[in-house]
Amino acid sequence: MSTELLIEDHGTTASEFDVETGRALTLLMCPPKLYDVHYVINPWMRGNLGKSNRERAMRQWQRLHDVLARLARVVLIEPVAGSPDMVFTANAGLARAGVVALSSFFYRERQDEEPAFRRWFEEAGYHVVDVARATPFEGEGDALFSADGTRLWVGFGTRTSVESHAALRGLWDAEVCSLHLVDERFYHLDTCFAPLSDGSVMYFPEAFDAASLAMIEQFYMPEQRIVVSEADALRFACNAVNLDRTIVLNCISDELAMTLRERGFDVVQVELDEFLKAGGAAKCLVMRLTPELHSGHSESGFSAEDLIAIEDLHGAHNYHPLDVVIEQASGAWVWDVEGRRYLDCLAAYSAVNQGHCHPAILRAMVEQAQKVTLTSRAFRNEQLPLLLRDLHELTGYAMALPMNSGAEAVETALKAARKWGEVVKGVAHDRTEIIVCANNFHGRTIAIVGFSTDAQYRAGFGPFPAGFRNVPFGDIDALRAAITPQTCAFLVEPIQGEAGVIVPPEGYLREAARLCREHNVLLIVDEIQSGLGRTGKLFAYQHDEITPDVVIVGKALSGGFYPVSAVLSSREVLGVFQPGDHGSTFGGNPLACAVARAALKVIVEERLAERSAELGAYALARLQQMRSRHVVSVRGKGLWLAIELNTAARPLCEALRDRGVLCKETHETVIRIAPPLVIGKEDLDWGLERIERVLQED
């Protein structure tokens, strides 16, 4: 199988965590910065001396890391000089409940790793237990707990000595069971034996002696045993990372993959043949840790309370965030500095439609950042023309003008419309007018808040630029009445997000487009929040089968990695700009363009618009069936939903936070539901269940 990353479901899966504390399973990994095969301590290394490819190993390791980071919290240890096998962190030790039995390596070649691992565990707060040098023990590579935690299976015969097993007895409340390994190819227990979360075991019988097989068969009933073929065993199929209902492993046969899926597992295959040269695969590259010891403080050393106090002291108070301090995120999940896991149901106001820290976008950003990040528009760069081409091919618009923030793109569209009004339509100088809608939200600049109908947005910031008319959103008659010969544009959100995910009446945009054509008025659609898959179409205007004159995009255009926005239009409209009319030092920079190109590719290749349509319809139907005395209505389109309440929304958002779901109120009585579009149905159900539970409480 040549594909390097095969994922059965593109949605993120609920990570394994302690149900009571909500603490995420934590894994230890070490990047293969020093990985090499330059000695022989197992049969796999024979014939591979000097044949390892560190660059390819890094790519394969990164893919494994990216997959696991969507399922659990991953922490890293840096390799030390002279330790090329330190990447195989499963051999660092065996950790459980804050105690770690430190490895005592059999071969001298790996013994220099021990002090580095000891320092790391001690600094993390573990109680470190030493195993005597005379009785080698090679950590989690040779010691695996059963799913229920009552039994600790420990291998011996090739690396770990049977005498070391005595040191493990008494450390944890588990029966230690010794398994004799008799095939040198399977020199660690985790290369041929994998207890799974459903109580079954995946193993290669020929790797054990008769007594050990009898012990395995006594503990596991026939229906609990998954026997792998020699071909799969040699691919290290048993060297699998099992997190709840997901199994991550090297490429395996279709037959074994089907067997695992039939047992209810999601099977994620990541090609790891570069590590097979040294006798390792997925499980060898990972060690399980005690979650509680990796929480409470951020990497900066400050607690959540400390960080909130520092922010309140030194930051302007222009936001009122929920008091959760996020330290890490992946897919649809985020973790706070105390290690608690939350389902993100805001997606940074649709900026992370592709999920947090999407690996493909991250790779594009890192690769470009290592080449050139900024040239300014004084010079050309390689990435800008490619982004402009990609936007044209995806949307059909002839031209684009890239900016940074969404507000900048709106200002750009307003300038383009006004100049078009004078130069093309022939409106008298400084007499152009733009129609906007009540309860709009297009950003925070002076011009934009000047035509807002929200009193707080305007208070104290006047005087404001003239030339804007307000009409009620969704009222086509009001729009018709507001158009004059001086009208150059109508600026509208296809769905009003900040106002509370307000969906206009059926056919409103279609009729608005007709009116604009009739009166030679530009229809400008602000798709900053609604676009790029959020409502179940690439753009929300496509639900009305129209083609606006101007489209404004942002937020998900970068997948949350970098501020990138753009105005899309025809040559007639954007062609009014001449050199010097408009610009931005950072707009169209190569880093932004590389990120945006990768972000667009993810939306298309992972069919996120289609995913939003399917899961959004499901979530809307489910929430509309909910019975709660607090709920007035539920509305939305795609995975962009709103729950209108008859009470304050803030306390309910705080209650949801305490149950592991992050939502945000708007306009006092509305809760928005807008998770990353990569969310899996299982995770969506997990979140919806908690939303229902909170709203149905008295």
So which residues are the catalytic ones?
441, 526, 555
422 token code pair: 């004078």
**Cα–Cα nearest to 237, from 207, 276, 192:** 192
Per the DSSP assignment, residues forming a β-bridge with 636 are 641
Core vs surface per residue 26-53: b (16+ CB within 10 A) or e: bbbbbbbebbbbeebbbebbeebeeebe
CA-angle at 376, arms to 374 and 381, nearest 5°: 70
- Give the burial class of 595: count Cβ atoms within 10 A of its Cβ; 0-12 exposed, 13-18 middle, 19 or more buried: buried
- In angstroms, rounded to a whole number, what is the distance separating the alpha carbons of residues 419 and 242? 60
Q: What distance in Å separates the CA atoms of residue 301 and residue 246, rounded to the nearest whole number?
A: 32
β-strands 143-145, 127-129: how paired? unpaired
d(CA 152, CA 174): 6
Question: Alpha-carbon distance 197 to 213, whole Å?
Answer: 20
Q: Chain centroid to CA 122: how far?
A: 31
At residue 65, the 3 state secondary structure works out as helix
Positive or negative, the Cα torsion across 404, 405, 406, 410? negative
3-class DSSP state of 671: strand
Residue of 124, 580, 658, 604 whose CA lies nearest to 395 = 604
Nearest to 422 by CA among 485, 482, 465, 490: 485
Closest C-alpha among 289, 262, 286 to residue 272: 286
Enter the DSSP assignment of 356: B
Cα 457 from Cα 454, distance rounded (Å): 6
Q: What is the rounded CA–CA span in Å between residue 132 and residue 128?
A: 13
Where helices occur in 291-346 by DSSP H, the ranges are 304-314
In degrees, rounded to 5, the angle at the alpha carbon of residue 17 between the alpha carbons of residues 14 and 22 is 105
Three-state SS string over 223-272 comes to HHEEECCHHHHHCCCCCCEEECCEEEECCCCHHHHHHHHHCCCEEEEECC
Phi, psi of 424 (to 5 degrees): -100, -50
Q: Which two tokens stand for residue 672?
A: 């928005």
**Residue 643 contacts by C-beta under 8 Å, 6 or more apart in sequence?**
623, 631, 633, 634, 670, 671, 673, 691, 695
**Beta sheet of 266-270, edge-to-edge order:** 5-7, 266-270, 246-249, 241-243
Distance CA 479, CA 473 (A): 9
Residue 597, Cβ neighbours under 10 Å: how many? Answer: 20
Q: Taking the CA atoms of 676, 681, 686 and 687 in sequence, report the sign of the dihedral they define.
A: positive
